[in-house]
Amino acid sequence: MEGKPIVVGIVAGEASGDFLGAHLIAALRERIPGLKFVGIGGPKMEAEGLASWFPMEKLAVRGYVEVLRHFLEIHAIRRKLRRRLVAARPRLFIGVDAPDFNLPLERKLKRAGIPAVHYVSPSLWAWRGGRMSAIAASVDKMLVLFPFEEPLYRAAGVPVAYVGHPLADLSSDEDESAAAKEQLRLPATRKVVALMPGSRQSEVRYMASSLIQTAKLIAARQPAVHFLVPLVSRETRAIFEQAMYDADAGELPLTVLFGHARDAIAACDVALVASGTATLEAALARKPMVITYKMARLTYGMMSKMGYLPWVGLPNIIAGEFIVPEILQHDATPENLAQAVLNSLNDPVVNRRLPERLDQIRRLLRRDTAARATEALMPWLRSA
């Protein structure tokens, strides 16, 4: 007679976490068939068998001001989730990124006797490390994606494992540009710019108008350019299409894609990308990019005072220098963004040297993440 399935709790709060969570669930299930996963996740995690108890989109809010608007709803979800998890008694809880939601949850679960692992370090390397004591009290282990994060946790006495980044494992050694253009029915000689406003609704609201105005300027100056805009949900697509209508931009040579961010990056010659995981995806595809970001003025002011690194984009942080331009907040005017994209599009030095530099990052992060992460979790699951 078979016993009850081993339960694992897992929570992701946005599209990038959904990808990471799905990748991890698949690897754990391959190692230990029959595991049952419960918590919160998106369509990718649900496709791998997660029973998602609340909509992931409710957690996909960024910035202090924006979080305050949704605080009561998010707090209620976390309280209800904690009660259900304590009742379910999972063998292990895995918080995938979303530190503002997951770390307090992990701390309470750990106190209730449920081991907690956090997968993806909060950006201690970007903001002052006041979170370290809270992390130490919340987690039994931290799984980090970048090599420079591991010594920070070892120095603080927090158990840690560097597992690499699964996107690097999935990246191709070949240049996929021609195949991607053919798949999207674009001429091989056409210059393509990917506009990537982010995965959250709040991000798209802040970024859409600026990116559309930028595209209009680029189209006026660059003959035969085409724009690709990958969006992750019906809601973000509706927000972007409304911004297109408001900007009277219906004549732009632009294709909105439902998902397909990887195809858009592969096909593009330059990506204009909101700071976040998409900057890493562009780097792993060895694509020139311009990193930009806009958020609520108060949020940006608070975060600017906390930051101590000169970079916000992952390619620059990993490289330890500005290898791609960053144009943020009040500097992110359509004129500035358009000029930066055109510079990257037409500079032969950038197009020759930058892909080599980005390939160094790709090789650094390629570590067979699924195997490493699974092995790090086995002390809690081996008895299964």
pLDDT tens for the chain, residues 1 to 384: 356 889 999 999 988 899 999 999 999 999 999 999 999 999 999 999 999 999 998 886 655 445 556 678 889 999 999 999 999 999 999 999 999 899 999 999 999 999 999 999 987 644 445 678 889 999 999 999 998 899 989 998 999 999 999 999 999 999 999 999 999 999 999 999 999 998 888 889 989 999 999 999 999 999 899 999 999 889 999 999 999 999 999 899 999 999 889 999 999 999 999 878 899 999 999 999 999 987 656 655 545 554 545 778 889 989 989 999 999 878 999 999 999 999 999 998 888 899 999 999 999 999 999 999 999 999 999 864
Q: What values do phi and psi take at 230, rounded to 5?
A: -80, 130
**2 domain-assigned:** no
Examine the domain organization and report whether 12 and 70 are in the same domain: yes
* The pLDDT value given to residue 60: 67
Residues 271/194, Cβ–Cβ less than 8 Å = yes
Examine the domain organization and report whether 210 and 324 are in the same domain: yes
**347 domain-assigned:** yes
Examine the domain organization and report whether 95 and 148 are in the same domain: yes
Examine the domain organization and report whether 335 and 240 are in the same domain: yes
**27 domain-assigned:** yes
* The pLDDT value given to residue 16: 85
Examine the domain organization and report whether 255 and 345 are in the same domain: yes
Examine the domain organization and report whether 131 and 45 are in the same domain: yes
3-state secondary structure of 331: helix
**144 domain-assigned:** yes
Q: Kindly give, in sequence order, each residue whose CB lies less than 8 Å from that of residue 58, ignoring residues fewer than 6 positions away.
A: 70, 73, 74, 77
Residues 141/159, Cβ–Cβ less than 8 Å = yes
User: How many Å apart are CA 228 and CA 45, to the nearest integer?
Assistant: 26
**1 domain-assigned:** no
Q: In terms of residue numbers, what domain contains 85?
A: 7-164+367-381
**148 domain-assigned:** yes
Examine the domain organization and report whether 375 and 347 are in the same domain: no
Q: What values do phi and psi take at 369, rounded to 5?
A: -55, -45
- Would you report the helix, strand and coil content of the chain in percent, each value rounded to 5? 55, 15, 30
* The pLDDT value given to residue 263: 95
Residue 333 tokens, joined:
């005017």
Here the CATH number for the domain that contains residue 222 is 3.40.50.2000
Domain count, the chain: 2
Examine the domain organization and report whether 213 and 335 are in the same domain: yes
Sort residue 34 into left (φ over 0), alpha (ψ -120 to 50) or beta.
Answer: left
* The pLDDT value given to residue 351: 84
User: How many Å apart are CA 315 and CA 358, to the nearest integer?
Assistant: 8
Examine the domain organization and report whether 353 and 375 are in the same domain: no
